[in-house]
Amino acid sequence: MRTTLDLPEDLLNEAMKATRIHTKTKVIITALEELIRKNRISELKTFKGKIDLDIDLNTIRGRKCR
């Protein structure tokens, strides 16, 4: 999809240097993907301590209890 954006040149150049990505399109796609990923992680954090999975991590990881 083609879209025209008015982005600050210095911000875009800094993002390209920081990520070592050489195309403007790929930098923007990467930024959007990262934004979505961080948002999903923060949404999952709201469930911390609220779900009882009844899982024994020592058994799953193959640890022998002393």
CB atoms within 10 A of CB 51: 7
Q: Would you say 15 and 27 are in contact if contact means Cβ atoms under 8 Å apart?
A: yes
- Domain range annotation of the chain: 9-60
Strand boundaries in the chain, DSSP class E: none
Per-residue pLDDT of the chain (66 residues; tens, 9 = 90+): 899 999 999 999 999 999 999 999 999 999 999 999 999 999 988 888 787 778 887 888 877 766
Q: What is the pLDDT of residue 65?
A: 66
Task: Let me know: does 59 contact 51? Beta carbons within 8 Å.
Answer: no
**What per-residue confidence (pLDDT) applies to 61?**
83
Q: Which pLDDT value is given to residue 42?
A: 94
